[in-house]
Structure 1
Amino acid sequence: MPSTATLSGSDQSENRSLGGILVHVLALFTSFVGPAIMYAISDHEFTRENARNAIKWHISIIVLAVAAFVTGFLGADEVTINGEPTELLAVPSPLDTVFTFIGIPLLLALVVAVFATFVFAVIATQKAASGSAWSYPGSINIIERFR
């Protein structure tokens, strides 16, 4: 369940920042790069917390994409190039089946996660505008380890 750090009444408008609100929209166009830059240059805690949440989500998506494509590639035993079947890797038959059965759900999860990115960006932007930092659900909590 996503966590929401909320502030009370007038503290919300005093502690929020434009950077903290717009970092989620920026992340839609730059993945984790824009929020990482904002995280590095901002000294406003609200902006940094929102940037941290966006970074965590987009790094999670990248990890999922790498896992999906690697297992999908290992599961593909041959491809057709110019009408000729070409063997990609010499992965033993039982293993390529296992990689395929793992890769397909990962690819489907990646598609869902990419669509969820747009929904989550809207939710996070709205929450930031109201003064709370919304943590994207399902993201890897890597940034807090290096604080």
Structure 2
Amino acid sequence: MTFTATLSDPELSDERSIGGILVHLLGLFTGFLGPLILYAVSDNEFTRTNARHTINWHVTVSVLMIVALVMFFLGADEITVLGETTEVSLLPAPLDIVFGLVGFLLIIVLVIAIFLTLVYTIVATVKAISGSTWTYPGAIAFVERYR
């Protein structure tokens, strides 16, 4: 029987921090603002790395949301407010249909991304508890190593 050396709990706790673990849950409730503040004030590399990955994911989802909503509403040719239909087409006829369809498809992608945010938060938190960092798949690297 062979015995392999593993990291003991005190060594693991020196490498990881509670901020690096909780930053993923913080991002779930505050978007990218909470992790951004934690990234700015933390000196712990584990916390900063996890915060950076969380910020990148939430900024990616925020940009997707803005683009999807703008595309969808630019493609709208009429809107109903309090039971009254008003024509609001800002684009010529063929473009408004294209923008509306692309916006609709991006909204579907956005719903999937919001669901993935829940899944990714759980996975990243579990990985952080075990002492490793996890990059969110599909996140655009907006925040690189600073400081």
Distance 1:51 1:29, change over 3 A: same
Moved over 4 A (4+): none
1:5 corresponds in structure 2 to: none
* 1:104 correspondence with 2:104: yes
**CA distance in structure 2 between the partners assigned to 1:67 and 1:33 by the alignment:** 19
* 1:92 correspondence with 2:98: no
Q: Which has the greater radius of gyration? A: 2
* 1:65 correspondence with 2:79: no
**CA distance in structure 2 between the partners assigned to 1:101 and 1:132 by the alignment:** 41
Query: SS at 2:53's partner residue?
Result: helix
Query: SS at 1:143's partner residue?
Result: coil
Query: SS at 1:64's partner residue?
Result: helix
The count of corresponding residues between Structure 1 and Structure 2 is 140
TM-score normalised according to structure 2 size: 0.89
The answer on whether the counterparts of 1:74 and 1:99 sit within 8 Å (CA) in structure 2 is: yes
Distance 1:146 1:17, change over 3 A: closer
More divergent stretch after superposition (111-120 vs 137-146)? 137-146
TM-score normalised according to structure 1 size: 0.89
* 1:36 correspondence with 2:36: yes
Distance 1:145 1:43, change over 3 A: closer
**Map of 1:6-25 to 2, 5 A cutoff?**
9-10=6-7, 12-25=12-25
Measure how far apart 1:48 and its partner are.
Answer: 0.1
Query: SS at 1:135's partner residue?
Result: coil
In structure 1, runs of 5+ residues without a counterpart are 1-7
The answer on whether the counterparts of 2:89 and 2:96 sit within 8 Å (CA) in structure 1 is: no
Measure how far apart 1:31 and its partner are.
Answer: 0.5
**CA distance in structure 2 between the partners assigned to 1:70 and 1:138 by the alignment:** 21
**CA distance in structure 2 between the partners assigned to 1:129 and 1:145 by the alignment:** 22
The answer on whether the counterparts of 2:75 and 2:89 sit within 8 Å (CA) in structure 1 is: no
* 1:135 correspondence with 2:147: no
Distance 1:125 1:79, change over 3 A: same
Measure how far apart 1:88 and its partner are.
Answer: 1.5
Instruction: Flag the structure with more relative contact order, 1 or 2, with Cα contacts below 8 A and sequence separation at least 6.
Output: 1
**CA distance in structure 1 between the partners assigned to 2:12 and 2:94 by the alignment:** 57
Q: Deviations over 1:17-66 (max 9, x none)?
A: 11000000011111011100110110000000000000000000100000
The answer on whether the counterparts of 2:74 and 2:90 sit within 8 Å (CA) in structure 1 is: no
Measure how far apart 1:13 and its partner are.
Answer: 3.8
More divergent stretch after superposition (115-124 vs 8-17)? 8-17
